[in-house]
């Protein structure tokens, strides 16, 4: 059986979450009017973004010097624009951390 990509798994979790499903979520949301930065997932009306950072154990882009600095610049800009950005690794998506964060944001009625 083929495992889904972490972003696809996250999308399924978001869409199935009762509280989150009541809010509009967009994949690959461009949040900055000058830069081409995108969030993996965004709830624009609520100002909440979700980022999935892969490659942390294989020295992927997110943990190498320039890639890490670029991510920090993006996250700082998002914070200055009043976004709340939640960051997850693929393992955190699979171990329930994403779902727990959604529970905290939007508890089920």
d(CA 99, CA 27): 17
pTM: 0.86
Which DSSP state fits 29? E
Radius of gyration in angstroms for the set of CA atoms belonging to the chain, rounded to a whole number: 14
d(CA 3, CA 12): 13
- The pLDDT tens digits of the residues spanning 12-38 come to 999 988 777 778 899 999 999 999 999
Helices in the chain by DSSP H: which ranges?
6-16, 65-80, 90-94, 97-105
Q: Is the pLDDT of residue 109 over 50?
A: no
Q: Is there a contact between 19 and 106 (Cβ–Cβ < 8 Å)?
A: yes
């Amino acid at each position: 059986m083929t495992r889904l990509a972490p972003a696809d798994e996250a999308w399924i979790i978001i869409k199935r979450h009762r509280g989150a499903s009541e809010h509009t979520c967009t994949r690959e949301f461009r949040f900055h009017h000058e830069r081409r930065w995108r969030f993996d997932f965004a709830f624009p009306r609520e100002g909440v973004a979700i980022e999935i950072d892969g490659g942390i154990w294989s020295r992927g882009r997110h943990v190498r010097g320039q890639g890490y600095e670029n991510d920090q610049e993006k996250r700082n800009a998002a914070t200055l624009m009043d976004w709340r950005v939640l960051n997850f690794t693929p393992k955190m998506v699979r171990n329930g951390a994403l779902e727990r964060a959604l529970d905290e944001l939007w508890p089920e009625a």
